[in-house]
Amino acid sequence: MKFASRAGQTNKPKMAFSGYNKPVNERTISSFRKIAIAPHPSLPEANKEAYKIAQFLTQHGQESLMAMLYEEKLVQSIEKHEIDLLIVLGGDGTMLRAGHICGPYDIPILGINAGRFGFLMEIRLNEWKQYLPRLLKGDFWLEKRMMLFCSHKRAGVELTTHHVLNEVVVGRGKSVRPVHLETHVDGRYLTTYVADALIAATATGSTAYALAAGGPILPPELRNILLVAVAPHLSIDRGIVLAEGSSVRVIVHTDHDALLCLDGQTPISLLDQDQVDVCAAEHNACFVRFQDPGYFYRNLTPHMNRNPATGISR
């Protein structure tokens, strides 16, 4: 997606950001054909505000589509490249699902936080009237975040493939017994983890499950894969940051149930000798940002100090 630009209309034009982390002294003018608005279906307040946003866009001459996330008409419009921007209202889980849908088609996402945590979201639910005029004027920048491509194979046959924004988790099922996870990096044997699970995370996912398992926090612009074992027994117990462009292969050795889980979605059953391959995806998740590129570090401590004690992230 490309944005045309023109010089500011005042003597001192407002600083805008074009592309990733590249300030320019000019105001960009967006050229959206159609904007989709997708609220989380179980959040009444999100649905209410979504309709107001659709009315606002119509009043400003902007064509829009109102649909629930994963609704067929929304997915089809994205696949046909009929949508230039997706506005989602929900929590971090909603943002992850939006990334799955939009990432392969390079469609930017604006997250409006109607959930409880909102680490990935850009603005609060009561702030959209302040920011949408800026959006329509092109006064924003696009942040690209690496996604993972995951392939699940059995006996050499590829069963499923997935685009993942946070993490790929290979681990045990209902049994409390650990699984043996033979791990290779770039075709070379690394180690066999005896653990509850092994997490392969992006920089985005470094603040999610990987962080809870003791992994480091990575800046969102990095294109590395982070490996973190969950409850390893006499195995490597430190996170490993792989070089950009690395690939990971995990071969499952187990005599009980094992699972593959992608961004916390419904798990996939794994059998002994199943293989999970992970590498950087060809496409990125693209987030609309209004804050300056230093926002991540500025917001990090407040987010860490307000982890909700109850409830779930939608």
Active site residues: 92
Residue pair 204/120 in contact (Cβ under 8 Å)? The answer is: yes
In this structure, what DSSP letter does residue 220 have?
T
- Tokens at residue 171, please? 């681990």
Q: Encode 260-283: b = buried (16+ Cβ within 10 Å), e = exposed.
A: bbbbbeeebebeeebbbbbbbbeb
For 151, 152, 188, 202, the CA distances from 156, given in Å and listed in that order, are 11, 10, 18, 26
Instruction: Please give the DSSP secondary-structure letter assigned to residue 121.
Output: -
Mark out the alpha helices in 110-262 (DSSP H runs). Answer: 128-137, 209-212
**Distance of CA 92 to CAs 117, 118, 166, 289, Å?**
7, 5, 10, 15
